[in-house]
Every structure is written in C-alpha cells, then in structure tokens.
Amino acid sequence: MEILVCARRVPDTSENEIELNSAGNDIERDELVYSVNEADNYAVEEALQIRDRVGGNVTVVTVDGEDGEEVLRRQLAMGANQAALVSDDAFNGSDGKGIATILKAFVQKGHYDLILTGVQADDSAAQVGGMLAAMLDYPFASLVNSIAVENAKLKVSREIEGGNREINEISLPCVLSIQTGINEPRYVGMRGIRQVASVPIPTLAASDLGIAPAKVGEAAAKLKRVDYFIPASSKGAEILHGSREENANRILELVAAKGGLN
C-alpha cells in the first residue's frame, strides 16, 4: 500500500512558554523550539505499522520553509521510506484551503492509496484533511483511532461523543485524520536522525507542482487571523483546606451534587 502522511512542524507546547508578541496578533516566536505536530507523529507511526503489516511505502510530506526538513528527517528516522518538502515563498501566509490546494497538487503527482493527516495541528484548525479529501474527491473519515486493512477497503474506528466508538468501512483511496492515542509512536533518538542524515529530501516548488501562485499564499487566503489573546484566568478552582477525611467527604458531596455519582 502506498501511504502518504501530511505532517507539520509546530512549536512544541510542552517545551515552550507560549507568550503573546507585543502586537498581540501572534505568539512570541523567538527562542521557540519546534517539533513534529503530535497527532501527525501518530499518523506516521500508524502508516509505518500498516506498511509493516501489508507491505508498501510510506512517504511523508510537509509544506514549510527549509526548517521543515528537520521534521522530515525525524520521520525518516522513524522508518518512512521517503520524504518531500514542499516549499515556495508563494506559499507563505496560506490559509487551510491554500495548504490543502498545495497538498492536492502534490498528491496528484504520485499514486497514493491512503492519505493520513493528524487530527489537527497544535496551532491550527483541523481543516486541511477534510478539504484535501473534498478537493481530491476522496472519501474522508476524521478522528480515526484504529485502522484495519481488508482487501481494497479499510475498517476504521472513530471516536464519537461520550467515548463511544463506531466502525466505518471506507474505500480506497481515502483520506483519514488520525487521533492521538491510536498507537504508541516509536522513539527517535539522535542516533536514528544521524543515520538518515544523508538521505536526500527533494524540495518541490510551486512550479514543480503546477500550482498557480495566485491560488495560494497570503493573497489567496480568505481566512485571516485578526486577534490572538490569552483568556484572563477566572476563579475556577476551589481549594479544600480541611483534614484528609473532611476533604474526602467534601469531594464526595461535590461530585454527587454535580451528578457524578449515580
């Protein structure tokens, strides 16, 4: 099976202190450390596991500047067969639809049976996967938390409200957005990255993919961020100051009052 995973580089929320910039329209990006978006990492792991079960190839693609190579290197170290960086100044400022347009052009350059994305990027809106599927006229399933390959079809499980699951059959080719927790992604250490240091990663520009610059980038974006703020913290926590027994009883009362004990 030929699998494509769309991954993205994001500021790692667990390794950064996110602060607003002085203009208030973005976060302070100096001294941030980046890593692959968590859900995308699960998607790559899932692709590798499917490949190891049924054979085929895993390709990882990212739309980014040249720093995007860092993420691709890590995915190659995990075991992806190849990686591609889609990069062009014309892409800067693209909205979700713009990114989906770029990815669609990339997908049409190859032959992929299955396209995976993370359920959403840490700093984004969970829209690219669905739009990409629509543009390609492929079926789409979101929030996927297990995949079984059955002949030319997949059985995918989705998480629905209340922690329930539903199983869907979906025909190939298709696009799936992968939920975190679907697997346990393997660890990639420095040694793994060093071992793939010399693997070539092609960079594809707008012209290589036949993308009209007017269709993407800031000019084409119809979705613009106008404000960015950290909500003021409200008085949400109640701290219990009693003895251990008193606190335990009080917690029981509170949980019962909110309908948590039936």
**Which residues contact other proteins (rule: CB under 8 A)?**
12, 14-17, 31, 33, 35, 78, 184-192, 194-195, 244
Q: Min. distance of Cβ 84 from other proteins in angstroms?
A: 23
Between 207 and 249, CB nearer to other proteins: 249
Task: Sheet containing 82-86: give its strands across.
Answer: 164-171, 153-160, 140-150, 174-178, 114-118, 2-6, 57-63, 82-86, 203-204
Report the residue number, 14 or 164, with the smaller CB distance to other proteins.
14
Shortest spacing between CB 63 and other proteins, in angstroms: 22
Surface-to-core class of residue 72, CB atoms within 10 Å of its CB (0-12 exposed, 13-18 middle, 19+ buried): buried
Is the Cβ of residue 17 or residue 227 nearer to other proteins in the bound state? Answer: 17
Nearer of residues 21 and 195 to other proteins, judged by Cβ: 195
* The two three-digit tokens of residue 246, written as one number: 């008193």
| DSSP annotation string for 56-116 | -EEEEEEESSTTHHHHHHHHHHHT-SEEEEE--GGGTT--HHHHHHHHHHHHHHS--SEEE
Give whole-number Cα distances, 83 to 35, 102, 121, 138, 196, in Å.
16, 16, 19, 22, 11
* Shortest Å distance, C-beta 197 to other proteins: 9
DSSP 51: H
- The residue among 184 and 227 lying less far from other proteins, judged by its C-beta, is 184
CB of 85 to other proteins, least distance (A): 20
Report in angstroms how near the CB of residue 190 gets to other proteins at its nearest.
Answer: 4
Name the residue nearer to other proteins (CB basis): 20 or 125.
20
Distance CA 152, CA 172 (A): 6
Minimum CB–partner distance for residue 78 and other proteins (Å) = 7
